[in-house]
Amino acid sequence: MEKIIVRLHKKTYPIIITNKLFDDFSSFWPININDQIVFITNNKVAPIYLDKLTTLLNRSGIKTDQLILPDGEKNKSLNILNQIFTKLLKNNYDRVNTILIAVGGGVIGDITGFAAATYQRGIRFIQVPTTLLSQVDAAIGGKTGINHTLGKNMIGAFYQPIAVLINPSVLHTLKTKDFSAGLAEIIKYAIALDANFFNWLENNLNNLLTLNPSTMTYCIRRCCELKKYIVELDEYDQHARSSLNLGHTYGHAIESYQKYAQWSHGEAVSAGIIMAINAALHLKQFDKNDAKRVILLLKRANLPVQGPKNMTPKNYMKYMIRDKKSNSTQINLVLPIAIGKVKTFFNVKPEVISLSIQNNSY
Ligand SMILES: NC(=O)c1ccc[n+]([C@@H]2O[C@H](COP(=O)([O-])OP(=O)(O)OC[C@H]3O[C@@H](n4cnc5c(N)ncnc54)[C@H](O)[C@@H]3O)[C@@H](O)[C@H]2O)c1
Ligand SMILES: [Zn+2]
């Protein structure tokens, strides 16, 4: 079992990583007999894992309820959020005793967290992330929210869980495409923050792709440590946390343009990382050989290194101007200046952005 403690001003909580999570209640689950548990999950994850979790808690005398939502990024929406509130209100769940447990990927984690942040002004919630992306990134750090048709993650709150409980063995049932999406965020951490970790990924990617248990656990742990480090520095995303947005200004534009229905978040981030590198190359801030290393690693992880063919620079710009790092007149971007280091560039010229979106031949 691996344990990392996230220490914030108002809340301290553990991240636990163990393959025994679904077999051992008393060692890992911060739940008491009086707590009223509502599992929030989706129609893909529920048939595989919900019974196991319900049985585990019920065996220890904990009563559980559940809400199974439709799968997919387009359901990280106001309408589905309202379904959570309706379920809680109809069943008289109160502020003191209720704990929501998010069982699923980043979509379920983000919407459940936001429901917990806002239901009766805040109830407790636990993250049980079941995708690689959510285990290394989305479940940690308290960014919760939903999408709006006019922009990704535009409605939300900073609200921390009481625990993040990670079972890496659930990754066995993940589709290859969804697994790769997680690798995009992992590679993002390495480029943004940790050159040694980037080298490690180059050497260990094959073992990750075959789900080697010790390689997998090390990788998840390292990402959780990096995320903890950044979130403790800047819980409310005012300075350091923006480094984790590498590739996301472009990526979010792709997701919004496609109405959250085609590329996954991880795929969009992967193409976005390359666009950020292209911009840094145009600004003469990044090394061409390092750019080649990043492209190779993303390709080995089965990730896209170009944006969707039908999107024009204008399509990107429409959404990029609304990004949280930008303001209404200028686009600001987090760009890599070396492997392991990023910097925010303010008021990046539209020509540079336009060139960065086009395919680069290096
Ligand atoms: N809050 C944050 O800090 C943060 C950080 C990064 C990403 N995100 C958000 O996370 C979301 C993406 O998360 P994601 O990549 O996990 O996508 P996702 O939640 O859509 O999950 C991907 C797919 O895998 C399925 N799935 C989940 N667990 C499974 C399992 N163990 N076995 C088989 N199938 C399984 C899901 O049902 C879904 O079909 C985006 O909305 C993104 O904005 C949030
Ligand atoms: Zn992301």
pLDDT in tens, 265-319: 999 999 999 999 999 999 999 999 999 999 999 999 999 999 999 999 999 999 9
261 with 218, same domain? Answer: yes
What are 254-264's pLDDT values in tens digits? Answer: 999 999 899 99
- Within a domain: residue 178? no
Q: Is the shortest distance between the CB of 124 and ligand 1 below 6 Å?
A: no
Tell me the C-alpha distance between 80 and 82, whole Å. Answer: 5
Please say if the pLDDT value at position 133 is more than 80: yes
Q: Is the shortest distance between the CB of 178 and ligand 1 below 6 Å?
A: yes
Tell me how far the alpha carbon of residue 105 lies from the centroid of ligand 1, in angstroms. Answer: 3
- Please say whether the beta carbons of 108 and 75 come within 8 A: no
Give the pLDDT confidence score for residue 150 in this predicted structure: 87
**Band of the pLDDT at 324, cuts 50, 70, 90?**
low
Tell me the C-alpha distance between 319 and 286, whole Å. Answer: 25
Please say if the pLDDT value at position 113 is more than 80: yes
For 119-238, where are the alpha helices, taking DSSP H only? 132-133, 176-193, 195-209, 213-233
Task: Please report, rounded to a whole number, the percentage of residues in the chain having pLDDT higher than 90.
Answer: 94
205 with 107, same domain? Answer: no
- CATH code of the domain in which 199 resides: 1.20.1090.10
Number of domains in the chain: 2
Range of the domain at 268: 188-357
9 with 95, same domain? Answer: yes
Q: Is the shortest distance between the CB of 252 and ligand 1 below 6 Å?
A: no
Tell me the C-alpha distance between 261 and 72, whole Å. Answer: 8
Tokens of 175: 């589709």
Residue 343 labeled ligand binder: no
**Band of the pLDDT at 152, cuts 50, 70, 90?**
confident
- Within a domain: residue 18? yes
Please say if the pLDDT value at position 168 is more than 90: yes
Q: Is the shortest distance between the CB of 113 and ligand 1 below 6 Å?
A: no
Residue 73 labeled ligand binder: yes
Lowest mean pLDDT among 92-106, 279-293, 320-334: 320-334
Instruction: Give the burial string for 61-78 (b: 16+ CB within 10 Å, else e).
Output: ebebebbbbebebebbbe
Instruction: Give the burial string for 247-256 (b: 16+ CB within 10 Å, else e).
Output: bbbbbbbbbb
Tell me the C-alpha distance between 251 and 153, whole Å. Answer: 12
- CATH code of the domain in which 58 resides: 3.40.50.1970
218 with 99, same domain? Answer: no
**Could you please report the per-residue DSSP string of 328-339?**
SS---EEEEEET
Residue 75 labeled ligand binder: yes
220 with 282, same domain? Answer: yes
Ligand having the closest approach to the CA of 77: 1
Residues shown for the chain: 362
137 with 219, same domain? Answer: no
C-alpha dihedral, 133 to 228 to 170 to 302, nearest 10°: 30
- Please say whether the beta carbons of 287 and 336 come within 8 A: no
59 with 89, same domain? Answer: yes
Ligand having the closest approach to the CA of 176: 1
Residue 131 labeled ligand binder: yes
**Residue 112's closest CA among 150, 152, 162?**
162
Q: Is the shortest distance between the CB of 170 and ligand 1 below 6 Å?
A: yes
The continuous run of DSSP H or E covering 14 comes out as strand 12-17
Tell me the C-alpha distance between 325 and 245, whole Å. Answer: 9
User: Which atom of ligand 1 lies closest to the CA of 182?
Assistant: 15
Q: Which of 130, 150, 173 is the last residue of a domain?
A: 173
160 with 22, same domain? Answer: yes
Ligand having the closest approach to the CA of 255: 1
Q: Is the shortest distance between the CB of 149 and ligand 1 below 6 Å?
A: no
271 with 230, same domain? Answer: yes
Residue 112 labeled ligand binder: no
* Cα dihedral 261, 83, 97, 147 sign: positive
Pocket probe for ligand 1: among 21, 53, 75, 110, the residue whose CB has the most ligand atoms within 8 Å is 110
Please say if the pLDDT value at position 326 is more than 90: no
**Band of the pLDDT at 158, cuts 50, 70, 90?**
very high
Give the pLDDT confidence score for residue 361 in this predicted structure: 63
Residue 87 labeled ligand binder: no
238 with 146, same domain? Answer: no
Query: Which residue has the CA at smallest separation from atom 15 of ligand 1?
Result: 133
